[in-house]
Amino acid sequence: MFLDRDKFKPAAEMRLARDKSSIRVMITDQKVCELGDAVYAWITANGKPVRIGTCGSSAGKHLLSYPGYINRSLAGRGGATPKWEALKWLGLLTAHGTLTAVVHQPEPTLTAAGPIRPCLDVERQLIRQHRPLLNRSHR
């Protein structure tokens, strides 16, 4: 596995819908999905990250938003996800069957402004290290 299993916990799964033309996300661990100020990654069955990001509020809410953006783009209705990226999501799910979302909430670090969770720093480091296929910007 490319990400530390002791830190990153499975939270949700992404699969193709029955018609194979759209995707869906199912929560697999509600407690992990309640975490906020967290780093998440969509990974293949062998643990390779294909998308790494952060979420401010609940991880579950953020993960559940993926199908809406991707499916809207696949249907040709535009939106935040470019068509090329939506097609790559579709291709990955066709090839792998399932992608798993794993979530990690970094420990707070004491700063002059008080304690903060270094989510963006962790995200930046992981993106630089893994160069995930579906990250549009390499922070």
Sketch the domain layout of the chain as residue ranges. Answer: 9-130
CB 90 within 8 A of CB 82: no
What are the pLDDT digits (tens) for 76-106?
Answer: 998 889 999 999 999 999 999 999 999 999 9
**Per-chain mean pLDDT for the chain:** 93
Q: How confident is the model at residue 137 (pLDDT cuts 50, 70, 90)?
A: low
Helix 83-96 / helix 66-74 crossing angle, nearest 10 deg:
110
Fold of 9-130: GIY-YIG endonuclease (3.40.1440)
Q: How far is CA 28 from the centre of its chain?
A: 14
